[in-house]
Structure 1
Amino acid sequence: MLTLSGSLRVFLALEPCDMRKSFDSLHALVTGQLGEDPRSGAVFVFSNRSRNRIKLLHWDGTGLWVHAKRLEKGTFSWPKPSDGRGGPCHAYRRYRSERRADASVV
Structure 2
Amino acid sequence: MIPIPGHARVWIATGHTDMRKGAASLGLLIQEGFGGKPNSGDLHVFRGRRGDLLKIIWHDGLGASLYSKRLERGKFTWPSAKDGVISISASALACLLEGIDWRNPQYTFRPELAG
TM over 0.5, shorter chain: yes
Q: Quickly name the TM-score band, shorter chain normalised.
A: 0.7 to 0.9
* Structure-2-length-normalised TM-score: 0.74
Deviation at 1:49, TM superposition (A): 1.0
* Structure-1-length-normalised TM-score: 0.80
Quick one: distance in 2 between partners of 1:102 and 1:70?
10
Quick one: distance in 2 between partners of 1:43 and 1:20?
19
> Retained in 1: the 8 A contact 2:57–2:64?
yes
Deviation at 1:86, TM superposition (A): 3.3
> Retained in 2: the 8 A contact 1:75–1:104?
no
Q: How does 1:1-106 map to 2 (within 5 A)?
A: 2-81=2-81, 86-90=85-89, 92-94=90-92, 102-105=98-101
Identical-pair percentage: 31
Deviation at 1:102, TM superposition (A): 3.0
Unaligned runs of 5+ in 2: 103-115
Distance 1:21 1:11, change over 3 A: same
Greater percentage in helix: 1
SS for the counterpart of 1:81 is coil
